[in-house]
Structure 1
Amino acid sequence: MLSVAWSTLRTRLVSFLGTFLALALGTALIAAMGQLLAVTVDSPDRGPQRYAAAPFVIVPDGRVHVRTWRGEQSLPLVEKAGLDAELVARFPGAVVDRAFPARLAGGPDVTGRPWAARRTAPQRLLEGRAPRSQREIAVSTGARVGDTATVLTRAGAGSYTVVGVTDGPPTVFFTDRRAAALSPRVDALALWNAPGGALPPGTRLLTGQDRALADPSREDDARARDNAVTIVGIAAGFAVFIAVFVVSSTFAFAVAQRRREFALLRTLGATRRQVRLMVYGEALLVAVAASALGAPAGPVLAGPILDRLVALGMAPSWLVPRTYTWPSVTAFCVGAVVALAGVAVAAARAGRVHPAEAMREAVVEPGVMTWGRRIFGVGLLGAALASMVVTAVRDPLSAANDKSFMPVVMLLVTAAGLLAPAVVRPVTRLVAAPLGRLRGAGATVVTASATASARRTAATAAPVLVAVGLATALLGAAAMNDAAKAAMRAAPVRADYLVLPEGAAGLDDRLLGRLRDVPGVEVVAAAPTGVYTLEGATALIRRPAEAMDPAGLVNVLDPPVTAGSLTALNDRTIAVSETWELALGDTAKLWRADGSQVSLKVVALLGAGSPADSYVTPAHAFSAPVTTAYVRLRPGTSPDAAGAALRHAAAGHDVRVLTRDAWARSTGDRHGSASRLGLLVVLGIILAYTAIALVNTLLMAASDRTAERAALRLLGATRGQVLRYAMGESLLVVAVGVVLAAAVAAVGLAGLWGSLVQIAGPVAVSVPWPEVGAVAAGCAVMAALAAAAPLLRRG
């Protein structure tokens, strides 16, 4: 049957062109994603940056060490301690480095360092000279020699004269003495000769690649690597899903077109098994050819994709591109498996064709849905609905994760694609109802043609269903999740204003003092820190904590408390989330942000929606910067007057003074832009597939419509009228696909809303109209062009 399959392929190139392109694209994408995954996982960590020129570096250990019965556990400290003064005195020739967050007012975040530490990178002096006085600095960005710059640090805002410009990462260099005054902690000693003697406990000597452990970007690098792996994995999963959908849809339509052909083969003696093997053979031949083209293209495609992800901030820039063999081999095999899996239902249907059907000539299909397709479609729809109900009842908080919603949307789209032939005719009549008011027979011809073959209409509408449905559901869900998270963040906040820093330096003590001097307000500072606990007495876990003054906490925040009270919070107690699995009154054995051990009594349990995982007093935070100042107005204070006074007090400190509502909107917008970027990357892959499937299905349908178009010409229709009828029918089918997509998105977003309303209250159902409109318009343009192309070619 392979020879018959090969002959069929040669005579029906147009029918299999879309499948070939979809599989080639899918194989190339899978190979490219495999390449990116291998590069992301196998790339070595970034080499030393801050101490690249210093062969030996002495640093604090920077880790908390806890002994358990299964051995020692350790994690990086949230707040690192400095080196002891006696150790610094042992190495008089070493470069003493103090690295602290700073910011040029109105400019970027920078790292403050003493001028002597310039040698460790090294950072070359490009212009000017070294700073010599307390009010002179050298910078690598944000200013020029001779400028007067305001530098914000934890100590406050200071005015300095720029006397030098260096290359290298964003840095502001102070004199060694000024840097020591701004940040007394010694972060590292850089040496060019091996230190003699043993180092005291709590310190480490770094050499070679280990010097990178002292770089401040270590955690960001690990986070960027994880983000890249997540994006690549999601994109590869969607590539496989859409490839199977396109192949199955295309072959199902092809089998429906070729029923008489299969019946003739049965009449000539072919068995059902042989017919099925022929269809499998066609799919396998197409898959082998497409995979042979797509698999080698993976490494070529991986480079531009990686560059784009890096440009979008979704992958680290320091990855080392390499070419691997296994992703292409895997993609080739996956291409064949995808083709055979996608054609399984179509092959089974082809094998069931009866020889007597060779004598039938009918335009209207008597039966468009098999019982197997109905059962499978209803089953997938039921699974999607059940999943949404279970999530809403048992774990509504998990619905706020975009990734948990994607499988549900896939189930809904697949179910709609399977059940589409059963609803195409009523939906088509509904969509075409306004056309009945038009003059002439055009509306009748277009509507009758679309409803005459429900399978053809459903197959053509399927790519539109995928493109518009996924775009609407995924982008709409992302917007709803962002709104829900913003509402959850804002709900416990009772403060009237929030003061937030623009950079990593935080809010300095001088600014906090000025804010507290504003009459009629209460200011409560919050510093994010962390604590460590042992889970199961074996696993050391870092847990986020918020350090706040307990007297003011309850005045500016109202987190959900399921047991106990935050009024009992003091230096010997702690409020923890229910996820800690501790009971009220338990004693929590903790290690604080600096590694010191402490036991605190649990006085409050925090429920879902709490803005913090735990609350401690400022006595348990050491060097953590203040990142938020909550401002509550006292009774009788004018909000407008207080806002103006707060902004006046914050002038020159590069901070934002926001009302509660403005802060809630800003946090939602910032989070939404990041999640939207990831979804747009995935949707780009989906649209590439659906464009191929839509055009190919219309071209396949056009080959069967030649006699029909000729009959219209014999009845008196002009060439222009036939062209308009064809384009009108294609646009009608696109409209049907949009309606089906709207139904899928409505069900999915309604289920998501049912979960989010329990954790965040009523959330507006957000439809991304510009993106959805662009996708639908693109489908309409491609459909019209694909419908017109065969007629224009014939002249």
Structure 2
Amino acid sequence: MLSIAWSTLRTRSLSFAGTFVALALGAALMAALGQVLASSLSSPDRPPQRYAAAPVVVAPDERLIVKSSYGESSVPLAEPSGLAPELADRLPGAVVDRIFPARLDGGPPAVGRPWSAARTAPQRLSEGRAPTGDDEIVVTAGARVGQRVRVVTTAGARAYRVVGLASAAAEPTVFFTDERAALLSPRIDALALWRPVAEVRAALGAAAGLGPAVEPGAAAGSGAAAELGSATAFGPATAPDAAQPGTPAVSSRVKVLTGQDRALIDPTREADDQARNNGNTIVGIAAGFAGFIAIFVVSSTFAFAVGQRQREFALLRTIGATTGQVRRLVYGEALLIAITASALGAVLGPLGARPILSRLSSLGMAPAWLALSTSSVPSYVAFATGVLVAVLGVVAAAWRAARVRPAEALRAAAVEPKAMTVGRWIAGGGLLATAVISMAVNAAGDPDGATNNKTFMPIVMLLIAGVGLLAPVFVRPVTALLAAPLTRLRGAGAVVVAAWAGASARRTAAVAAPVLVTVALAATLLGAAAMTDATKSAMRTAPVRADYLVVPAGAAGLDRQLVDRLRNVPGADVTTVTSTSLYTLEGAGTQLVKRPAEAVNPAALTTALSVPVAAGSLAELRDDTIAVSPTWELTLGQRVTLWRADGSRATLTVVALLGARSAADSYVASAHALSAPPSLAYVKLRPGASATEVRQALERATDGHNARAVTKAAWAATAMDRGTTASRLGLLAVLGIMLSYTVIALVNTLLMAAPDRAGEHAALRLLGAAKAQVLRYVMAEALLVVAVGVVLAAVATGLGLLGLYAALAQLSGLVAIDVPWQPVTGVIGLCGVLAVLTAVLAASRIKTVAMPRA
């Protein structure tokens, strides 16, 4: 059978060209994406930046460690606690580093540090001199020597004179004198040393008892050194509950960092980890869609080829071939194509890894410093995946070929086989039912899960696959509906075109399938992204009662001086909100979980926000109480032990259960914000106050503080724009992959279908139709088939977005079903152009018999 399969491939090379290209492209994509994924997993972390020149760094071990039911559970703390001042005294010659928000008015986000810490990077003067007075600074960017600028810190804004420029480093920096930096930020964030690490560890071992008492419930260490690679932790794990609100807690656990471990406290560490995760997510989604569409292309191509070869298989059955031999013949054809194409793609694929990685890096979806992996494993995996995809894609076609009866070889006319077999009905109906049931389950039981791409995208794939399998059922009625307006035109063109498309439902469905997949995926994914973003924005903005909001220009929050000025704005009530974190021991007391929380003034909360409450009352919110969302799984009046952002423990009573549409996961009193600055301020006009005067007063108050006052509508639009950029970029990358497969599938299917139409075209020529007329009919049929695919895609898109709508409506109420028509229309136009060009090219290459002239 392999020799027959090889002969078939040689004689029908055009029919299988698209399958070959699809599998080669799929293997190449898998290999390239696998190489990118391997680069992300195997690349070492970025070399140390902030302390590149300091061989030894002592830093606080910013972890909360709590004894759980099965040992210990630890999480990083959201709010730094700092080192005990006594440690600096025990380590003579150490550079005391303090890191705090300090940003030039109107400049880029930056940090403040003492000038003595400039040598840790190192950062050297490129112009000017070091600061010597309290009103002098050195900057890395944003100002000139001699210029007087305003610098905004958490305390407020103050004017300084720039006396020097320093070389750039990992982050823009404003250097103060050591004394001024200590005044602005008393917390010690690190100690940099140029001493043997053994001496540092010995000194820290003698100082292991420094710091506050051990946190009850936390793991009390013995003071012995615990080796963490080249990082050593000293002292007990503490989380002081004696710390007063606003007073930074001091951790007694410290760690000694050397070598690569110095990068653990770099400013880009968290962003680098997030970039890795973003890159891995995008690569995973793209690979999943590539595999899905590759199976779709292979299965549709082989199904169409089997339909064309009914008589060929019947002849094989007539001369004695068994059903198993026919199946093996089809599998052999698929394997021969798959092995060759996958091998080619696996070899060439790694060449595309660097361009893909560079593109992801330029879009901010992968770290720019990743080193390209040289592993050959992705190529082997891509080859195996390509072969597996071919086998899976040809299963249905092989069984269908084996069912051909020997008697069919005696038919004088080629009759299209039954469009819908029992297996196709079961498969299509099952996939469609599974997708619909999954959407119903999400809408009823987990509406939040519907907003997750990892949950929604598999449902979309099932939905589109189900509609694609059931497509032949709808071809004739859809064709008749689309062709109905054309019947009023003069001539027989409309009748001929509609008859062509409707006479062979299976062929029309096969040609329309690539259009269905591409348009449906584009419309559903982009529409779902727009709806999800709008829902998240609505959930955030709907509770807001304020007329204006004061937002910081960066992540540093609103400084204390600005907050005082806002509270003095006449005719307005100002409510500040501070984003913080709470840690709870969940999972039957086995795991610490970090939960977001909003610290607010309870008396002013309802003035600024309309918070949905399912039970209890926010009026009882005090320093010893908390309001939580249903995800906490707590009951009204229950007392819960938790840990605050600095690790200090608190026991609070639940006084309110928030509604399902609450924008916050929990609310606590302002005392639990500790030293974190407010992240937002709500401004509500008092009765009779002039909106213009209040707006002008807000602009004066925010001037020079790296903040701005905006209306609720402007704030909502800005928040939505920030949230949509990354998701849209990822979706566009996926759409690029889909379009490449569409080109292959659409062109290949039309080229395969063209020889079957030669007799029909010849009949038209014999009836007097000119060659140009035949080509116009071909163009019209191609556009009609694309229109059929678009209608089927609209059905799949409508079902998918309606299911999503049912889930999102429970989160934020009525949601507009929004499909970004510009990219979707572009996809449809591309499909139309490809279909027309391919159909005309294929028809013009086939020789037909013209009517003899008189």
SS in 1 for 2:595: strand
1:376 paired with 2:418, answer no
2:799 match:
747
- Residues 237 and 370 (structure 1), Cα distance of their counterparts in 2 relative to 1, 3 Å cut: same
Following superposition, the deviation at residue 704 of structure 1 comes to 2.1
Large movers: runs of 4+ above 6 Å: none
State how 1:36-75 maps to structure 2 within 5 Å: 36-75=36-75
Following superposition, the deviation at residue 266 of structure 1 comes to 1.8
Following superposition, the deviation at residue 616 of structure 1 comes to 1.8
1:569 paired with 2:571, answer no
State how 1:453-532 maps to structure 2 within 5 Å: 453-532=504-583
Deviation larger for 544-553 or 168-177: 168-177
Following superposition, the deviation at residue 647 of structure 1 comes to 2.0
2:91 match:
91
CA distance in 2, matches of 1:159, 1:17: 71
CA distance in 2, matches of 1:706, 1:359: 22
CA contact (8 A) 2:543 2:610 kept: yes
SS in 1 for 2:113: strand
Decide which of 417, 420, 430 is 2:481's aligned counterpart: 430
1:241-270 C-alpha deviation (Å, 9 max, x unpaired): 111111111111111111121122222222
1:4-52 C-alpha deviation (Å, 9 max, x unpaired): 0000000111100100111111111122222222222232332222111
Following superposition, the deviation at residue 143 of structure 1 comes to 3.3
SS in 2 for 1:436: helix
Where structure 1 has 5 or more consecutive residues not aligned to the other structure, the ranges are none
CA contact (8 A) 1:55 1:207 kept: yes
- Residues 439 and 158 (structure 1), Cα distance of their counterparts in 2 relative to 1, 3 Å cut: farther
Decide which of 328, 346, 352 is 1:277's aligned counterpart: 328
CA distance in 1, matches of 2:280, 2:511: 34
Following superposition, the deviation at residue 361 of structure 1 comes to 4.4
Decide which of 642, 646, 668 is 2:698's aligned counterpart: 646
State how 1:107-126 maps to structure 2 within 5 Å: 107-126=107-126
2:667 match:
615
CA contact (8 A) 2:342 2:383 kept: yes
1:156 match:
156
1:673 match:
725
CA distance in 2, matches of 1:214, 1:478: 35
Query: What amino acid sits opposite 1:126 in the alignment?
Result: S
CA distance in 2, matches of 1:466, 1:25: 17
2:601 match:
549
CA distance in 2, matches of 1:254, 1:18: 12
- Residues 433 and 131 (structure 1), Cα distance of their counterparts in 2 relative to 1, 3 Å cut: farther
1:275-307 C-alpha deviation (Å, 9 max, x unpaired): 111111111100001111111223222221111
Query: What amino acid sits opposite 2:494 in the alignment?
Result: A
Following superposition, the deviation at residue 146 of structure 1 comes to 4.3
CA distance in 2, matches of 1:19, 1:32: 20
Decide which of 209, 212, 217 is 2:260's aligned counterpart: 209
CA distance in 1, matches of 2:538, 2:669: 26
CA distance in 2, matches of 1:130, 1:700: 76
1:451-491 C-alpha deviation (Å, 9 max, x unpaired): 12111110000000000000001110110111111111112
1:286 paired with 2:341, answer no
Decide which of 329, 353, 362 is 1:311's aligned counterpart: 362
CA distance in 2, matches of 1:518, 1:778: 57
2:638 match:
586
- Residues 792 and 158 (structure 1), Cα distance of their counterparts in 2 relative to 1, 3 Å cut: farther
Following superposition, the deviation at residue 223 of structure 1 comes to 2.1
Following superposition, the deviation at residue 366 of structure 1 comes to 6.2
1:705 paired with 2:706, answer no
Following superposition, the deviation at residue 693 of structure 1 comes to 0.3
2:390 match:
339
1:295 match:
346
CA contact (8 A) 1:103 1:503 kept: no
1:338-359 C-alpha deviation (Å, 9 max, x unpaired): 1111111111111111122223
CA contact (8 A) 2:123 2:166 kept: no
CA contact (8 A) 1:244 1:341 kept: yes
SS in 1 for 2:657: strand
SS in 2 for 1:704: helix
Query: What amino acid sits opposite 1:399 in the alignment?
Result: A
Decide which of 169, 172, 175 is 1:173's aligned counterpart: 175
Query: What amino acid sits opposite 2:323 in the alignment?
Result: R
CA distance in 2, matches of 1:682, 1:661: 32
CA contact (8 A) 2:560 2:677 kept: no
Deviation larger for 366-375 or 728-737: 366-375
Identity %: 63
Decide which of 768, 774, 780 is 1:716's aligned counterpart: 768
State how 1:95-106 maps to structure 2 within 5 Å: 95-106=95-106
Decide which of 221, 231, 235 is 2:272's aligned counterpart: 221
1:357-416 C-alpha deviation (Å, 9 max, x unpaired): 223344663631112111221121111111122222222222222332212211111111
CA distance in 2, matches of 1:651, 1:576: 36
> TM-score w.r.t. structure 2 length?
0.90
CA contact (8 A) 2:307 2:416 kept: no
CA contact (8 A) 2:50 2:169 kept: no
SS in 1 for 2:138: strand
2:186 match:
184
State how 1:400-439 maps to structure 2 within 5 Å: 400-439=451-490
- Residues 450 and 193 (structure 1), Cα distance of their counterparts in 2 relative to 1, 3 Å cut: same
2:223 match:
none
SS in 2 for 1:365: coil
CA distance in 1, matches of 2:661, 2:375: 45
CA distance in 1, matches of 2:122, 2:372: 26
SS in 1 for 2:110: strand
Deviation larger for 101-110 or 498-507: 101-110
CA distance in 1, matches of 2:418, 2:589: 64
SS in 1 for 2:58: strand
Following superposition, the deviation at residue 225 of structure 1 comes to 1.9
Deviation larger for 234-243 or 600-609: 600-609
State how 1:624-639 maps to structure 2 within 5 Å: 624-639=676-691
1:621-672 C-alpha deviation (Å, 9 max, x unpaired): 2221211011122222233332232122212222231222222222122212
Say what the alpha-carbon RMSD is for the aligned residues: 1.8
CA contact (8 A) 2:547 2:711 kept: yes
CA distance in 1, matches of 2:310, 2:357: 45
Query: What amino acid sits opposite 1:87 in the alignment?
Result: L
SS in 2 for 1:705: helix
1:600-625 C-alpha deviation (Å, 9 max, x unpaired): 22222223222222222222222212
CA contact (8 A) 1:125 1:167 kept: no
1:704-727 C-alpha deviation (Å, 9 max, x unpaired): 222322332232222222222212
CA contact (8 A) 1:70 1:538 kept: yes
CA contact (8 A) 1:131 1:164 kept: no
Query: What amino acid sits opposite 1:503 in the alignment?
Result: G
Query: What amino acid sits opposite 1:173 in the alignment?
Result: F
CA contact (8 A) 1:32 1:299 kept: yes
CA distance in 1, matches of 2:45, 2:75: 18
CA distance in 2, matches of 1:143, 1:457: 67
Query: What amino acid sits opposite 1:91 in the alignment?
Result: L
Where structure 2 has 5 or more consecutive residues not aligned to the other structure, the ranges are 209-234, 236-251, 848-854
SS in 2 for 1:109: coil
Following superposition, the deviation at residue 761 of structure 1 comes to 0.6
Decide which of 286, 303, 322 is 1:252's aligned counterpart: 303
SS in 2 for 1:782: helix
1:290-334 C-alpha deviation (Å, 9 max, x unpaired): 111111223222221111111111112232221222221121111
Decide which of 771, 778, 784 is 1:732's aligned counterpart: 784
State how 1:593-608 maps to structure 2 within 5 Å: 593-608=645-660
1:55-103 C-alpha deviation (Å, 9 max, x unpaired): 1111122111212343232221111122222222333422111111232
CA contact (8 A) 2:526 2:819 kept: yes
CA contact (8 A) 1:586 1:601 kept: yes
1:349 paired with 2:350, answer no
2:6 match:
6
